[in-house]
Structure 1
């Protein structure tokens, strides 16, 4: 028999204390809204949110939830809690934000081990004191936690040079759905111990376990950084992209931006190609000069920006709009944010097709040309039927280019009631855009980790 709400609250208050249990109705408005947006519209609200302060407390809290068959929605600071598929039911929300210690920083080995609630920016500040950094630039970087970044696999533009989050994760400790603590990998770069669960848990959206600590490889801070922006016609940008990809140039980031993004950043007109070079000063200047010569050959406008950090901050504000997201939005207007992937060679033609689909609409598109991954943001969405058809068109184009489209942020009605695939479509199809033949395998893997289906229920496979 399910515990009554007052029994549930008393049970976890005895474990975590009064400060470790917050009633759902007493959460801060932004956090309350983020949790609601992560659940299906027909779901009952969670009873409370738990804040364990140690790994042992988290383990015991999950063990209690397992014993009483309570469904759990894990999060860090909840910056990306409403991404992707909707959770069908959550009795509890458990935050790892209080697990915020830097456990070990091995400067000589270029590795760091941190608890999952450490904020990304706080970690970068600690590492910078030793001339090192974690080579990812995720969205919502001011509040994003390491656990949330791992769970969503969000690496950002630096993936072009340094690969993905899963490639930098050397070891992990996590709490299973039954409360047991498990470990995989290690704290050194050359490590072959055990199963490679780090890659499995990266991007699992809290469905396989709750990360408690993570070990990452690090890189030295570069001596000098500059950004080069090329703007012009789609044909010339495509030629520049192809020439750069086959050259000896070594950009740390290479992003294709829609003309709307370029214009609103005040960088000119037309589609833009943004390259960041970070290395020894002489090398950076030489490579920027080569790009300028290439731009002249292709009749492209070229701008060299010295303030790289400021540029990426402005681009993050434009694409993710954290402040606007936290405001009370009108039910008549919303934004839709999608993650997409396609063959890098098709990225420019994809941008052109999106221009036609979203003609006279406010939208932004960013594609990392090395991996073909990108972000599409559509603003001022009022007609869900119309945006559903547009998203279906974009998804079809991406799939024809060997890629995918997943819905990250959108009104619940768009995710829950599929207007493109019929009301019987699942999260896997409608939200994640997956129609391959690996569904049964993924379900079996999840059942091995969470046989009772208590963690982030139905987020992937409803």
Structure 2
């Protein structure tokens, strides 16, 4: 534990760094705080902090923008909160090769704004892009509905610089797209929730900003699962290539589109002629007894901005208890999950806002209500998901409830592999304790 004596020692050791001491009475409802907060500005400073913490066996929680503060972790306060808020900036940009290397504390939207004059962007679509940092996005493998067209962080990251718990710097991957030698170590760290090391620098491949984009909304007048599913299959089997194919439940559709019906969101990005052609295909096959509306360019951008800010996150302070589930099932089962979640919401007296990707099988369900009702809803939804052969991860929940609800679900037969890797890399278990699968 950080004592006044060790705090004084830490200040002497780190000299120029900003170090804030958190008062004992201040408790954040999401936890994942620190008795002291340190703000490094360089990679070497991150290394020195971890080396000191590892030597003295001080626990460390890592934070970027704070949007994922409610995702995992059972510590209200670690000894040290390592904030990357001051560790920002572009390291290297190769417009011709369409690659970018950036410091991990840089907010995602700041990077996109930098790339815009080059007509380039990072092909990821995280939630809360104004606050989420590229390091946090990579560590949580965060993505939204456009994963269908963009892929995930694991598809777009080509190189990482990591700082191990003992301060050692390691580099995986490279700075070119065609990099195929040996095991892809990047995938070990992406999605590991900062339990194996601190992401220092990220190299990603870029793509051109599309010339034109649009969104089609197909709203179904009745909750006919088979009709919605059959239409989704038609779209998937066609020659068109939507960037996203997302079904919204009535509550979320009402909030975002003012139509309280199951609504299929189909988005396109390409040159205008290609987008128009794909829209025409949809207009020729959409079912009877449905309504179709469209948004293009600025209207579509405004919709997406609203969409990526509708979930509860680590920066909000709500009067009611809020939770977010990330669910993975067979892609065509997402409509079953959304309908089952609505029924569970009614029986548990909670509000449910949900969406799921017919192309990816990933669903996000936001739950709001009283404490016991939210916990009951999580348990019932997870049970339904498991029956369909899927998984349900709780990606946002107050710390008091994370101590009751198993965020990652039951351990699997492969848990020993995770344990072995953690023990090898972080044998003192100082980094992001209990933040990953099986309590790692």
Normalising by the residue count of structure 1, what TM-score does the alignment of the two structures yield? 0.88
State the distance in 2 between where 1:237 and 1:195 align. 41
Within the candidate set 104, 107, 115, 2:92 is matched to 104
Matched, 1:368 2:361: no
Q: Note the alpha carbon deviations across 1:142-163, whole angstroms, 9 max, x for none.
A: 1111111111110212211121
Within the candidate set 321, 327, 346, 2:333 is matched to 346
Name the SS for the 2:322 alignment partner.
strand
1:408 maps to what in 2?
395
On the 8 A contact 1:175/1:211 being kept in 2, the answer is: yes
Q: Name the CA shift for 1:16/1:72 in 2 (closer, same or farther; >3 Å).
A: same
1:38 maps to what in 2?
31
Matched, 1:5 2:8: no
State the 1:137 CA deviation: 1.4
State the distance in 2 between where 1:334 and 1:88 align. 17
2:301 maps to what in 1?
309
On the 8 A contact 1:230/1:237 being kept in 2, the answer is: no
State the distance in 2 between where 1:109 and 1:267 align. 43
Matches within 5 A, 1:401-440: 401-418=388-405, 430-440=406-416
Normalising by the residue count of structure 2, what TM-score does the alignment of the two structures yield? 0.93
State the 1:210 CA deviation: 0.2
On the 8 A contact 1:15/1:57 being kept in 2, the answer is: no
1:452 maps to what in 2?
428
On the 8 A contact 2:249/2:338 being kept in 1, the answer is: yes
Name the SS for the 2:193 alignment partner.
coil
On the 8 A contact 2:313/2:396 being kept in 1, the answer is: no
Matches within 5 A, 1:39-188: 39=32, 46-87=34-75, 90-188=78-176
Matched, 1:334 2:326: no
2:290 maps to what in 1?
300
On the 8 A contact 1:230/1:303 being kept in 2, the answer is: yes
State the distance in 1 between where 2:109 and 2:6 align. 35
The root-mean-square deviation of aligned C-alpha atoms, in Å, is: 2.1
State the distance in 2 between where 1:88 and 1:193 align. 42
State the distance in 2 between where 1:351 and 1:271 align. 10
State the distance in 2 between where 1:404 and 1:85 align. 19
Q: Note the alpha carbon deviations across 1:268-318, whole angstroms, 9 max, x for none.
A: 2321110110001011011112112222x4432100012111111122233
Name the SS for the 2:401 alignment partner.
helix
State the distance in 1 between where 2:229 and 2:403 align. 37
May I ask how many residue pairs the two structures share in their alignment? 431
State the distance in 2 between where 1:177 and 1:190 align. 30
On the 8 A contact 1:151/1:206 being kept in 2, the answer is: yes
Matched, 1:229 2:217: yes
2:237 maps to what in 1?
246
State the 1:19 CA deviation: 5.1
Q: Name the CA shift for 1:320/1:186 in 2 (closer, same or farther; >3 Å).
A: same
Unaligned runs of 5+ in 2: none
On the 8 A contact 2:71/2:435 being kept in 1, the answer is: no
On the 8 A contact 1:263/1:269 being kept in 2, the answer is: yes
Unaligned runs of 5+ in 1: 40-44, 419-429
